[in-house]
């Protein structure tokens, strides 16, 4: 009887999930078995009780529901959910072109349906495997965001699944300023990358499911996005399953640039599909040209300059396809970034955040497999550029200071008015653009606009330290050499008739 119960439980799992149970519990001889035979094999050979096995199955089930909520994230955050009708009985919504109908939400006679073109709904929900597809939590998130429903009264969404749903609602509210941001959890995100990113790139399903509630392919994409965000890049994820995985935007560069990112896992630790199937370049071309560049207008088209494949590692010979790809796309450069290199880059950057988007453009434009020694060169170049910028800024401060000090300084003061001070500050800011400052004019009023790049705070610190040191040095020089009478002394001499 217990074997039959175990088989019934196991049939709720996918083949990959059952294989994971075999690996975790030392069950041999599962290779080559189909799903039904595998369930029977585990039931007969595992030492788990029915209750223990039921807990494992329920855990897989919960993680799957959380994964569906996570899959709904992009639809919701990119505002692809539109509530077309809402009342106490019926909700009708459109999620990225998929029509969702919910009846009697929060009641016992609840029901819902998704568009027939939704494969998840057709093959999973309608067959009773799971209670909802990813479009259902996307609608719920929008309803919660708009304040239309009580989060505690949602069918099929409770406990940790509800926590995941509320987390993406909170994320949207922070992005739109509805909630005051409490800051990024940089330390935790960095630790996750260091500990798990490389393993997940090698398709460690157990780790990705238990810690991140999703399959390794999806979690690898999520962690890749977080890695580039830790490098202060803007990112855009794609809600649709087909196409590029991520856009990385070098907003601080002049001009800005866009790189289309393709994330690839490989159990072997080496992603070599392109070397075996060069025709895959055609698909990559479609991703960055048809699905990005051709959808943009005007100058934005020119921003699309790079394609980057991120994976566990790559064979050296894959680099020869970069030139071919550039000819195919009319100039788009293809490069390859191994997971260990990205982790090394992010770790070094968070320790010493001195790389600008302009300098990191060398990563995207390299047309090679980027290695740790390349990252070391980025930092060496960054130090050199910062030293050069500091010296240029100090020289400008020195020249301007001496210019007005020669006209206005006396034995006590270096005198300046508001206009002179503004002129000095404006000259220094001009030196710092485009590296640290973006300056322009409002088209309507002609007023000068100044945008400070706050992500480059570490570079600002180095430059300002240099300017302060130079300013103090200039004041010291004036104090040592200036002998011109002050206005007060001149007045006293005049009144005392000493001249």
Report how far residue 478's alpha carbon sits from residue 22's, in angstroms, rounded to the nearest whole number.
Answer: 80
Report how far residue 356's alpha carbon sits from residue 359's, in angstroms, rounded to the nearest whole number.
Answer: 5
Reference 264, options 347, 331, 342, 317; nearest CA is 342
The average confidence (pLDDT) of the chain is 89
Report how far residue 497's alpha carbon sits from residue 417's, in angstroms, rounded to the nearest whole number.
Answer: 31
* pLDDT for 289 beyond 70: yes
pLDDT for 407 equals 62
Q: Which stretch of DSSP H or E encloses residue 91?
A: strand 90-95
> Computed from CA positions of residues 44, 48, 49, 50, in that sequence, does the dihedral angle turn out positive or negative?
negative
Please give the average per-residue pLDDT across 139-165, as a whole number. Answer: 93
Between 492 and 260, where is the model more confident?
260
Between 41 and 402, where is the model more confident?
41
* pLDDT for 179 beyond 60: no
Phi then psi dihedrals of residue 387, to 5 deg: -60, -40
Model confidence at 48, pLDDT cuts 50, 70, 90, reads confident
Q: Which two tokens stand for residue 85?
A: 């009708």
Report the side by side order of strands in the sheet with 111-114.
81-86, 90-95, 98-103, 111-114
Residue 400: alpha-carbon gap to chain centroid: 42
End-to-end, the C-alpha distance of the chain in Å comes to 121
Please give the average per-residue pLDDT across 450-477, as a whole number. Answer: 89
* pLDDT for 366 beyond 60: yes
Reference 218, options 306, 126, 316, 134; nearest CA is 134
Model confidence at 499, pLDDT cuts 50, 70, 90, reads low
Regarding the domain delimited by 186-370, which CATH topology (the fold level of the hierarchy) does it fall under?
Restriction Endonuclease (3.40.91)
Residue pair 241/359 in contact by the 8 Å Cβ criterion:
no
The 10s digit of each residue's pLDDT in 62-118 is: 988 998 999 999 899 989 999 999 998 999 999 999 999 999 999 999 999 999 999
Reference 56, options 11, 10, 23; nearest CA is 10
Model confidence at 420, pLDDT cuts 50, 70, 90, reads confident
pLDDT for 405 equals 64
Please give the average per-residue pLDDT across 50-56, as a whole number. Answer: 89
Non-local CB neighbours of 56 within 8 Å, separated by 6+ positions: 21, 48
Q: Which two tokens stand for residue 404?
A: 């007005």
Rg of the chain (C-alpha set): 30
The verdict on whether omega for the bond into residue 255 sits within 30 degrees of 0, i.e. cis, is yes
CA distances from 126 to 31, 71, 121 (A): 30, 19, 6
> What is the model's pTM?
0.75
Phi then psi dihedrals of residue 263, to 5 deg: -100, 125
* pLDDT for 256 beyond 90: yes
CA distances from 300 to 77, 181, 333 (A): 22, 30, 17
> Domain extents for the chain?
2-48, 80-168, 186-370, 380-490
- Give me the residues paired with residue 86 across strands: 91
Instruction: Give me the helices (H) in 93-158, please.
Output: 119-120, 135-145
pLDDT for 58 equals 87
Please give the average per-residue pLDDT across 193-219, as a whole number. Answer: 91
Model confidence at 175, pLDDT cuts 50, 70, 90, reads confident
pLDDT for 4 equals 86
Model confidence at 238, pLDDT cuts 50, 70, 90, reads confident
Model confidence at 3, pLDDT cuts 50, 70, 90, reads confident
């Amino acid at each position: 009887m217990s074997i039959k119960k175990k088989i019934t439980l196991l049939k709720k799992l996918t083949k990959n999930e059952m294989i994971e149970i075999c690996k975790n519990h030392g069950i041999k001889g599962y290779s080559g078995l189909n799903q039904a035979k595998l369930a029977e094999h585990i039931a007969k050979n595992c030492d788990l009780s029915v209750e223990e096995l039921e807990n494992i199955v329920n855990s897989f089930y919960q993680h799957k529901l959380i994964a569906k909520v996570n899959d709904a994230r992009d639809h919701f955050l990119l505002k692809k959910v539109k509530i077309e009708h809402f009342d106490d009985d019926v909700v009708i919504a459109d999620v990225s072109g998929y029509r969702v109908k919910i009846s009697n939400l929060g009641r016992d006679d609840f029901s819902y349906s998704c568009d027939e073109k939704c494969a998840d709904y057709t093959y999973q929900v309608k067959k009773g495997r799971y209670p909802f597809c990813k479009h259902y939590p996307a609608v719920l998130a929008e309803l919660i965001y708009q304040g239309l429903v009580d989060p505690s009264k949602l069918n099929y969404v409770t406990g940790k699944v509800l926590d995941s749903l509320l987390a993406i609602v909170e994320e949207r509210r922070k992005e739109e300023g509805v909630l005051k941001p409490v800051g990024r959890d940089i330390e935790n995100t960095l630790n996750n990358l260091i500990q798990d990113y490389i393993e997940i790139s090698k398709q460690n399903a157990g780790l990705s499911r238990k810690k991140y509630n999703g399959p390794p392919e999806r979690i690898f994409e999520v962690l890749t996005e977080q890695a580039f965000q830790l490098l202060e890049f803007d990112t855009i994820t794609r809600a649709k399953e087909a196409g590029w995985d991520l856009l990385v935007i070098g907003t601080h560069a002049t001009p800005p640039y866009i790189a289309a990112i393709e994330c690839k896992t490989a159990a072997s630790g080496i992603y070599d599909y392109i070397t075996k199937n060069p025709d895959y370049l055609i698909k990559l071309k479609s991703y960055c040209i048809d699905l990005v560049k051709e959808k943009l207008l005007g100058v934005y088209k020119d921003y699309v300059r790079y394609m980057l494949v991120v994976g566990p590692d790559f064979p050296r010979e894959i680099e020869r396809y970069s030139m071919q790809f550039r000819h195919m796309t009319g100039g788009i450069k293809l490069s390859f970034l191994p997971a260990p290199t990205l982790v090394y880059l992010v770790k070094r950057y968070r320790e010493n955040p001195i790389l600008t988007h302009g300098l990191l453009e060398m990563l995207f434009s390299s047309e090679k497999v980027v290695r740790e020694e390349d990252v070391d060169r980025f930092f060496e170049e960054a130090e050199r550029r910062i030293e050069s910028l500091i010296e240029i800024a100090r020289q400008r401060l020195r020249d301007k200071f001496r210019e007005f000090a020669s006209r206005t300084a006396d034995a006590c003061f270096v005198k300046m008015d508001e206009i002179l001070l503004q002129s000095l500050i404006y000259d220094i800011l001009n030196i710092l653009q485009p590296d640290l400052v973006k300056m322009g004019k409002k088209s309507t009023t002609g007023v000068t606009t100044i945008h400070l790049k706050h992500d480059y705070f570490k570079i600002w610190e180095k430059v300002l330290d240099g300017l302060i040191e130079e300013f103090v040095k200039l004041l010291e020089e004036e104090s040592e050499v200036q002998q011109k009478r002050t206005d007060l002394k001149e007045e006293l001499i005049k009144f005392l008739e000493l001249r």
